[in-house]
Structure 1
Amino acid sequence: MPTVEVDKDELFQKLGKRYSFEEFDELCFEFGLEPEEADDEDIKANPELANQWKIEIGANRYDLLCIEGITRAILIFLEKSQAPRYKTVPPCTGKMQQLIIKPVTAQVRPHAVAAVLRNITFTPVLLLTLGHYSFQKQHFERIVPTQTGINRRRTLVAIGTHDLDTIQGPFIYDAQPPSDIKFQALSQKEEKTAVELMEIYSGESHLRQYLHIIQDKPVYPIIYDQNGVVLSMPPIINGDHSKISLKTRNVFIECTATDLNKAKIVLDTLVTMFSQYCDVPYQGIEPAEVIQPDGTRVIYPELPYRFEEIDVADVNGKVGINISGKEMARLLTKMCLVSETFDNDTKVKVEVPPTRHDILYSI
């Protein structure tokens, strides 16, 4: 089960209330989460743990792999907030950003999806989540639960986030021999070839665990803009040129993958979780156009909504409860599944949002 570490002060600020551990433990039990606090010995060894709680998440609840998703879901569960409506908005420039996939990527990492978050306001905490910090920082990226959960330690999906105002599309997703790839990577003071970078990262505890994914391939994945500026060498490292800072306002997101479905889920999760920081919350998600090697064009993110219909008596019988359709709809809505009854309260229509990829069918 994935475990998310949360800062208690940030947690309380987002929930609008301070909780004792016992109170929060009871709330999590009702919702279906399992929190854990550090014991006295661990806190004595590392005082920072006194302000942290760990929350165990269900393996298929990708929407809860960050504090934004956890607090949003809890507020909806407490009926203090309504489920947001996620949708893309037209590109502010009038033209979608493009990501062009070259055929050679099929040799190493064939899939890619992309999107843009506009008019986002970064804080130091959010920068730790979506941004890029040097390897010397204790918390390189707070998005680790996503990277190690659905992403399977980047083997299925690797995430790249970039300051869009420092680069220029269309962007090209290519694959080249490692000796031909040269750029200034994050935390590096000068340009180095991919061969040199892989040698350096073999001694980095944070990155060496990912090297095997492409190390023996004849070509390495590489993403660059129309001016040849390298954005990333997925799934290993991003370029320094497009790194995010507190001044960043617009973010280009690219996810490269060996599994297209997982890439789409990761992209949906990222934009739905972090679009809350846009000037108009949830209204800063811009689509991007991905041009496939065969020339077909696909627009992402998909952000799919769908409806399922359930029979109240059938659900009551299978679950072993006896509640009305109205109450069933209310409880489902509390779990971010906006619902309403029909057919004289005998059936419930359930809306499954793009954050709930764990919902496969009605029953």
Structure 2
Amino acid sequence: MKLYAVQTSISRTAGGLFFSVRNLLIQISQKEGDKCDVCALGVTDHYSDQDKEAWTGVKVQTFTGFAGKLGLSFSLLRFAARNFKSGDVVYLNGIWTFVSLAARIAQWKKVAVVIAPRGMLDEWIIKKNKIPKRIYHHFFENALLSRASFVHALTEKEAESIRHLVPDANVVVCPNGIPIPERFAAPVPRTKKVFLYIGRLDNKKGLLELVESTNLLQEELRDQWILKIHGWGSLEYGNDLRESAARAKYSSNIEIGPAVYGPNKEAALTDADFFILPSKSEGLPMAAIEALAAGRPAIITAECNFDEEVMQSDACLVLGPRSQWSSVLTGAIRMDHQEIEHRSIEARRIAETKFDIQKIAPRMLQLFRETALVPSCD
């Protein structure tokens, strides 16, 4: 069987998708490389050549394109027309881009297609550029999804969103996974609680609202916390965020730095007490999963889409209405070290039991194998 994973980008510019899809393909390649030929296809971007090396054991091919994040690449579409064959599986990650045309070509050729929207059918995402998306969905995306061998949802909530838009879609739920580190650094007592954000600087991440919420913290807590934000993304949003932080009541408590990867990311997590993600829309956030595996409790919104077991566990503190965010932060700042240690152990347990890629990959591989025998409908 040949498995083609198709996405707009195979580099870090894809955000969490770069980690989630890569983790899955590497694990499949390592365990079943002699039986399953694993390939990742994407449109060339600034980091493609550098990040190809991160796809250990996976064949990676990029294609010249244009139209930015929309990923229009005629060379990719020609490759699809010439190379996708019966018995292959085409695994499309993400929608609302021209890369979806490669999956449609596969369907026309009677090749099995699996589609992972990766949170892109979330209500908040659909409302963004609502009219063009409704038109595109009506004339193209609906047919693509309804004729897929199955649609891969990351959570039950995402599955509900998919079924609402495409009632006849065959939906299968399986979460993102990560390699679980053998060890993790236990939190240490600190004079200041460290809240850490790692990810894209974008409106949907809720960072401006987070900074504004710190203005409501009590003056007596001034010397007891620090917020560290590490990210990349929109230059305009990044500038707005820095300006907001500079104007904030406790501006000296807020640090905004560059994106961190690899050992630098591990060090940032080790030096944190809590990971924080006040997002307005997610598929299933890889950064939060990595934080849990590092033994760091996550402060998250319901829109991060973790299931009820995770959200109600001691591994998480939930940000409800914005008017209450400062209360959640206050509770975390005042938390004693014994409770933080308990929550750290719980975070690690959740990661091991629910998000271990070594448990998730075999299930996905079995689904791909079954799918290869039953091509997508045209």
Q: TM-score, normalised by structure 2?
A: 0.30
Structure with the higher fraction of residues in helix conformation: 2
Structure number with greater CO (CA < 8 Å, separation at least 6) is 1
Structure with the higher fraction of residues in strand conformation: 1
